[in-house]
Structure 1
Amino acid sequence: RNTGSKNKAIADELAALGAKIVNLDVTDDDSVNSGVAKAIALLGGLDVVVNNAGVGVLGLQEQFTIDDFKRLFDINVFGVQRVNRAILPHFRDQGSGLLVHISSLLGRIALPFYGPYNASKWALEALAENYRVELSGFGVDSCIVEPGGYPTGFMRNLMFPSDNSQNESYGEMVHAPEQMFASFEGALAGNPSQDPQNVADAIAKLISTPAGQRPVRTVVDTMGMGTHIEPYNNQLAQIHQGLFTAFGMEDMLTLKV
């Protein structure tokens, strides 16, 4: 979005490389519907949609108001649903398509001071996994990419709580979110292998993998968290398989190709 203003330089750079640029605001139904329709017209169809729009938070969970939560979920969850609803009729008509949902390792575990973000990414994980099951018979794939923290503009555009009226009651803990974030930034600076290009490469690999062979979840991390999440994901996949088999629905776990 904002391809004519704050994101113009990036849009121009991509256009110079041959990309077709479409302005789209995931928080606006009309913008999403018209943007997806324009993209289909420009490219003669679409095969892959990457749901990457998102915003993070930092602060004590109690201090985030309901309006704060609504704003966050409007981007991180409802925005994804808007985009998916706009593209899925096209995918079903052509009998194929790939939805890539950019989640986070914080969509698998909860860390203090990121509570609303945790909640939004846990919701996204459920949304994406349900789509994988409900769309498999139509040849439409739904996958999840779970990056760790990376040094991108995402870190500079965090949401903070609107209500600080309970600061005093938290005592010294009120400073903990900023202290934890500073520590994390230091860890990132000391780990140059945590390169955002890793995430782009993982997405590209997922796209190039033949339909029916793509994993549900792809972890992308070099800072140690990912090694704890991958066994959890593998265990969950086994549980999923067992439950669907028990209910006679195991065919829904196999993509029609």
Structure 2
Amino acid sequence: MAEAGRRPDVIDTAPAFSAVEAEALEDRFAGVPAPDMLRVVLGEMRGRIAAVSSFGAESAVLLHMVAAVDPATPVIFTDTGRMFPETLSYRDRLVEHLGLTNIRVFAPDAVRLAARDPSNERYAYDPDGCCEIRKVEPLTRALLPFDAWLSGRKGFQAGTRRALPRFEAEDGRLKLNPLADWRKPDLEAYFLRHDLPRHSLEAQGYPSIGCMPCTSPVRPGEDPRAGRWRGFDKIECGIHQVSSLGQR
């Protein structure tokens, strides 16, 4: 049940979004296909919602759905300074292909980066700290104008994501995972049906693509994200709170 004073049939995030309201939206859109859900959400929250994309191996699916509703939807990309050149090329190609018109690129704070990672080698001994400087903090700045954001996470990507809901409340902001219940065959079928371009590293064994120093090919039978931060007890960059993944 939505909190008193809010209309349950209209998405309203002011002044802050609660877990109770996220659950109400989960129920409201239960069984509604992702493209239809996005059509409603982006319409009701125009100007207050952004998509966040890594422009990785599967990013084209969600971005295609967003572009089909409103190509002017803000799309945030955090350029950590350690991205694969192939990712930057794919970003530019996909933006042009989909006709996206509002790409917002955020980079690490130069002064803070120089102080905390002067050698560009923090990833090798403190990957959490590296991600915080290069990805978490820039995204925090990028999301300041928005009440909600779209994530491309899917439940099948890792064991920690299996219970992933489509709606979450995090730090008072609504986070949507429109593809939470999609499987790999669903994504492949969508790529084929809409003739979407692929990330060139995918064919080289990279189903999940982050920064160059912390991304390796995935072996047969491993989780799609097994190649991220290999050798460290680390499963997320810090943008997504692991503790919230078990909701519902």
* TM bucket normalised to smaller: 0.3 to 0.5
- Structure with bigger RCO (C-alpha 8 Å, 6+ apart): 2
Q: Which has the higher helix share?
A: 1
Which is higher, the Rg of structure 1 or of structure 2?
A: 1
The TM-score normalised by the length of structure 1 is 0.31
The TM-score normalised by the length of structure 2 is 0.32
